[in-house]
């Protein structure tokens, strides 16, 4: 059987070479983010999402096939219908699996609405120096570069294949932040201090390097225990912050001393509680210190507390999570 013939290049392109359908799809994505409240019309992030072409950062990605495995969609597919699926998926408000290793997901492009909310809550201002932990495809670094300029953005990833592809994608899109291959748990001391640190991979503990490399008053936004922790840093030994309302599920950070806690056994816990996002967050935050039944009793006693009632404090060598108040009755040591 002969190989399928490659189709001629797309003809519906603008003078700058971008496919017209990509421009339309990007506009539809931004409109959806505005309608859903992830972006506001007067936000500089709306301009960034309008300007940065996501499809250049996902030249291919994987979707679940009907057979239960993965199929790859890519922009150079000889089948025109599959190329259309690729461009539509590139601008859908969903996370995209971009790198698999032995059937395991090791890198992805995050859901745009979650990215928009995280960038909003990061509270980046002009002139801020930003460190990103987890380069991924480079798309988030491009959005940051559009906001504060290439020279103010550093993105770090442990995997040299990921950083190399991120550099290529960023270059094609016209952005040139620092892309560093290294252990994200150690930050990037050569370009510190940072005013903002955004973490795009799940963590099991809070690396001290991020605090040590923060400027006074800096903000660290990191996914911990299926939540987003917004930690305000006073200095290397003092920081405090609360969790945001947004659930967050990311590929785990590799490197450092990260020990993500496995999902607990929920036998005996009512199904309605086991399915509740806030209860599962409490279980993850207190893993190893409260068994599910103790957590269930606390959760009910405290009127089903949501993520925003929890926080984390750092004081010298002590790091702990808490409910309502740092020095209140409910506190759990973190690694």
Q: Which residues are catalytic?
A: 107
The SS3 assignment for 217 reads strand
Let me know: does 132 contact 162? Beta carbons within 8 Å: no
Q: Specify the 3-state DSSP secondary structure of 230.
A: strand
Three-state secondary structure string covering 21-58: HHHHHHHHHHHHHHHCCCCCCCCHHHHHHHHCCHHHHC
Q: What is the CA radius of gyration of the chain?
A: 21
What span, in angstroms and rounded, lies between the C-alpha atoms of 40 and 146?
A: 17
Pairing of strands 104-109, 96-101: antiparallel
- Report yes or no: 220 and 200 within 8 Å, Cβ to Cβ: no
- 229: which strand partners? 222, 243
Query: In Å, how far from its chain's centre is CA 23?
Result: 24
Nearest-CA neighbor of 325 among 248, 265, 240?
240
| Paired tokens of 210 | 């991020």
Residue with tokens 């001290």: 208
Joined together, the tokens standing for residue 152 give 């103010």
SS3 assignment, position 88: helix
Location of structure tokens 């504060």: 148
DSSP class of residue 19? B
């Amino acid at each position: 059987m002969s190989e399928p013939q490659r189709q001629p290049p797309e003809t519906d392109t603008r003078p700058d070479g971008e496919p017209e359908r990509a421009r339309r799809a990007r506009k539809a994505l931004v409109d959806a983010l505005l309608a859903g409240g992830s972006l506001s019309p007067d936000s500089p992030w709306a301009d960034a999402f309008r300007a940065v072409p996501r499809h250049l950062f996902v030249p291919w990605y994987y979707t679940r096939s009907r057979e239960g495995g993965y199929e790859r969609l890519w922009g150079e597919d000889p089948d025109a219908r599959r190329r259309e699926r690729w461009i539509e998926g590139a601008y859908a408000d969903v996370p995209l699996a971009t790198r698999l290793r032995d059937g395991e997901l090791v890198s992805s492009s995050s859901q745009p609405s979650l990215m928009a909310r995280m960038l909003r809550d990061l509270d980046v201002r002009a002139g801020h120096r930003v460190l990103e932990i987890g380069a991924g495809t480079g798309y988030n670094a491009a959005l940051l570069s559009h906001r504060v300029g290439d020279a103010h953005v550093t993105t770090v990833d442990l995997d040299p294949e990921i950083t190399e592809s991120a550099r290529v994608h960023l270059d094609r899109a016209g952005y040139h932040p620092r892309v560093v291959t290294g252990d994200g748990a150690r930050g990037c001391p050569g370009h510190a201090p940072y005013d903002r640190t955004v973490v795009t991979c799940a963590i099991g503990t809070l690396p001290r390097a991020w605090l040590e490399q923060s400027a006074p008053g800096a903000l660290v936004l990191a996914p911990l225990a299926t939540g987003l922790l917004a930690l305000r840093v006073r200095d290397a030994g003092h920081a405090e912050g609360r969790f945001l309302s947004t659930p967050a599920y990311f590929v785990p950070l590799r490197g450092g001393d990260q020990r993500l806690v496995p999902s607990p056994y929920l036998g005996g816990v009512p199904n309605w509680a086991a399915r509740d996002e806030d209860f599962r967050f409490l279980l993850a935050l207190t893993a190893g210190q409260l068994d599910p039944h103790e957590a269930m009793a606390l959760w009910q006693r405290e009127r089903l507390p949501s993520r925003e009632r929890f926080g984390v404090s750092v004081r010298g060598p002590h790091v702990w999570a808490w409910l309502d108040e740092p020095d209140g009755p409910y506190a759990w040591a973190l690694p």
